[in-house]
């Protein structure tokens, strides 16, 4: 359920230029209201501990007095948080701290807007009653050679694109199906499957290990594409 008033937003970033860019992005985004902006993690933490009602926190990772990660661990009540960083290797740590998204400096407005959409979607979900239960398909019929076979989706580990066909990898065998990734993605239950790369869709229940932004499944490391990482780490956080 959307709010009638803008989401209350706070920035904590010791980088003055980065802070000014974020302030400008927030000021031109109608759904956001900038409540406070701090150049010190200690001052920002002290204010947050005294004040409730913050919806979104834009938080720098590397700060001298207290890092963004340390600040977040200290907060008893955490707002929806977007990390701001100069490095791209904080995705796993962000996931561990239940961060909604993370942005690389300098933050461009397009990527900022996408992060805001991710955050507001979560905030709206928190205040929206759960929908009535829907029937989730547990099987899929696919054409293999001249036959139509039934696949138990629980047994499908991952799907890989190969030119004009896809390879469906199950627990016991592989099936070659002449279709596109977009077409098969639309047929799969979204609570079980997730596209993590332009060439890979995975069964979230079949993840064995995550290492260096790659997923181990059936002795194969599947890369997590850069544009898919935020959604992937947010999804597995719910398992």
Are 102 and 59 contained in the same domain?
yes
Model confidence, pTM: 0.57
Task: Return the pLDDT at 190.
Answer: 86
Q: What is the pLDDT of residues 69-89, one digit of tens each?
A: 899 888 888 899 999 988 776
For residue 58, the SS3 value is strand
Q: What is the pLDDT of residue 124?
A: 84
Query: Residue 148 has what pLDDT?
Result: 87
CATH number at residue 101: 3.40.50.2300
Least confident of 38-42, 169-173, 229-233: 229-233
Please tell me whether residues 115 and 39 are part of one structural domain: yes
Kind of pairing between the strands at 214-217 and 220-223: antiparallel
What number is the average pLDDT over the span 176-184?
A: 90
Out of 100, 126, 152, pick the residue that ends a domain.
126
Domain with 204 in it: 139-236
Domain identity same for 14 and 121? yes
Look at residue 62 and tell me if it is in a domain. yes
Strand partners, 175: 168
Give me the number of domains the chain comprises: 2
In terms of pLDDT, which residue wins out, 172 or 136?
Answer: 172
Looking at the fold, whether 37 and 105 belong to one and the same domain comes out as yes
Residues 6 or more apart whose Cβ sits within 8 Å of residue 127: 1
pLDDT at residue 213 greater than cutoff 70? yes
Cα pseudo-dihedral 91, 95, 99, 101, rounded to 10 = 40
């Amino acid at each position: 359920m959307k709010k009638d008033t803008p989401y209350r937003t706070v920035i904590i970033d010791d980088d003055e230029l980065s802070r000014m860019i974020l302030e400008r992005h927030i000021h031109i985004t109608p759904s956001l209201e900038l409540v406070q902006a701090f150049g010190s993690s200690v001052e920002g933490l002290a204010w947050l501990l005294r004040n409730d009602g913050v919806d979104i926190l834009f938080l720098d990772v590397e700060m001298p007095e207290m890092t963004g990660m340390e600040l977040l661990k200290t907060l008893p009540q955490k707002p929806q948080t977007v990390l701001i960083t100069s490095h791209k290797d904080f995705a796993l740590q962000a996931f561990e701290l239940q961060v909604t998204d993370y942005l690389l400096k300098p933050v461009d407005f397009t990527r900022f807007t996408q992060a805001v959409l991710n955050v507001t979607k979560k905030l709206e979900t928190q205040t929206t009653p759960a929908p009535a239960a829907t029937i989730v398909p547990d099987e899929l019929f696919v054409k293999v050679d001249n036959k139509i076979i039934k696949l138990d989706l629980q047994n499908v580990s991952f799907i890989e694109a190969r030119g004009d066909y896809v390879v469906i990898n199950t627990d016991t065998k592989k099936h070659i199906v002449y279709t596109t990734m977009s077409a098969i993605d639309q047929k799969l239950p979204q609570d079980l499957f997730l596209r993590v790369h332009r060439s890979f869709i995975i069964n979230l229940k079949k993840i064995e290990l995550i290492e260096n932004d790659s997923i181990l499944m059936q002795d194969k490391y599947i890369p997590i594409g850069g544009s898919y990482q935020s959604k992937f780490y947010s999804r597995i956080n719910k398992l």
